[in-house]
A and B are shown apart, each in its own frame.
Chain A
Amino acid sequence: MLLEGDPCSILENEFVKPGKGQAFNRVRLRNLKTGRVWERTFKSGDTLEGADVQELSMEFLYSDGEFWHFMKTDGSFEQIAAPETAVAGAVNWMKEQDVFQVTLWNEVPLSVSAPNFVELEVTQTDPGLKGDTAQGGTKPATLSTGAIIRVPLFINIGDVLKIDTRSGEYVSRA
């Protein structure tokens, strides 16, 4: 819905009626533009304007440095360009041809979210240390997207890794 001009999604809506008073609702909303969580109270019977928000699966094509270009996966080949603000949360995990969830507000990309798990190649890391696999030590590794994560010592350049995008952590070799 639309609140103070921004699209929001409702996280929680609690009906309250304290002390035999008039009922109201305590609502927690996420501002889809800023990601901030708002708390508001609404009286029963208050109406809110709906926001024209849709979420689509789209394939990431390429970035020109200013915009990130996506294509619809519905066979229409329709493309949209997302600004940096929209991809900020997913840019570390964005590999070309992977599919992302793109949230559009009035047809304009608002945010892009990565799948929970992605597979990315290691482009830079110190050489693996033999015999150290059981120690559980970690080292930094740079991925093809430019993101740097902690990986086990046995990982080498060229390995493809499975990564949990919610925590930004290494899961396994793919």
Chain B
Amino acid sequence: MVVWQPSGSIATLKQRAEILAVIRAYFSEQNVIEVQTPVRSFATAGDPAIESLGVDDGSFLQTSAEYQMKRLLAAGSPSIYQLGPVFRAGESGRRHAVEFTMVEWYRLGFDDAALMQDVCRLVNRVLGEASFQSVTYRDLVDDADLIARAHTDDAVRDQLDVAFDDALRLLGPGRWFVTDFPARQAALARLRDDDPTVAARFELVIDGLELANGYFELSDADELTNRWLSDNAERKRRGMAVVPADDALLAAMRHGLPDCAGVALGVDRLVMIALGVDSIDEVLAFKHPPG
């Protein structure tokens, strides 16, 4: 039998539309302008934990708008946001879909602490006012030895991810920021001047659901090149395809990325929390095919 009906109810989709409107109104008030960068690009994420969906012509559906948005910032744009679809191969489950909606924004002159305040304001606007708590990655996982060994060992790194997920489940209900991720998990965040073993990276976790990931952005092109090399070395060790560095992003960073902080927030999950539903399919017009 052909299933043609939506996976989310019409009532849910109306509520989803209201939330999108609240997000856009917030950024409009804050003078953060909306941009639209191509969904398809020849450059893609080098992070070994992210697999892109390729297109026949050799390009990739974007896993996040990050690289292109940073090129806009380097070219002199003010603070910007983007609200639209992103794609990650192989991610499919109760809380995951291969195609999902992300709101990603960059604030000029903000550091991670200022950006966390910004995230609080937006989330409060959508979900209602509530307090936020904060815990460092190190205190949350509470296993300094495991964190230290994960710095150089891929298998231990994978164990650490399980320990991190265990700890997130124990956080229970409430709004939490997890801060100061280990340097190996810096992604595109800068390391802390006063403690280079940790990165100026945070995650927002609400009721056990990871909702947003933010950085005080790395602006050093040489450091970005080094991270690209070590990501590709890890990709090789794990038997994954190597991803060439995004030369346009590197050139833009050499030209100069202004000091800024950026964050990407999963809109479907925010809607799930707002509506109290348990499965991502229930907040999508149509369930995305796995891929």
Contacts and interface: CB of A to CB of B under 8 A. Distances in A.
A24 B158 contact: yes
Nearest to B154: A22
A44 B50 CA distance: 13
Interface in A26-47: 26, 41, 43-44
A22 B158 contact: yes
A15 B96 CA distance: 8
A20 B47 contact: yes
Given A41-B162, A43-B158, A20 B96 contact: no
Interface in B158-200: 158, 160-162, 164-165, 168, 178, 181, 185, 187
Interface stretch (B67-75, B87-95, B218-226): B87-95
A21 B90 contact: no
A22 B49 contact: yes
A23 interface: yes
Contact of A21 (B91, B94, B161): B161
Interface residues of B, number: 27
Interface residues of A, number: 15
Contacts of B203: 19
Contacts of B15: none
B157 interface: yes
A25 to B, nearest CB: 8
Interface in A105-164: none
A83 to B, nearest CB: 38
A24 B93 contact: no
Given A22-B49, A23-B49, A17 B91 contact: yes
Interface of A: 14-24, 26, 41, 43-44
Interface of B: 47-50, 90-96, 157-158, 160-162, 164-165, 168, 178, 181, 185, 187, 203, 210, 213, 238
22 contacts: A14-B94, A15-B92, A15-B94, A17-B49, A17-B91, A17-B96, A18-B165, A18-B168, A18-B210, A19-B185, A19-B210, A20-B49, A20-B50, A20-B187, A21-B160, A21-B161, A22-B49, A23-B90, A24-B161, A24-B162, A26-B165, A43-B158
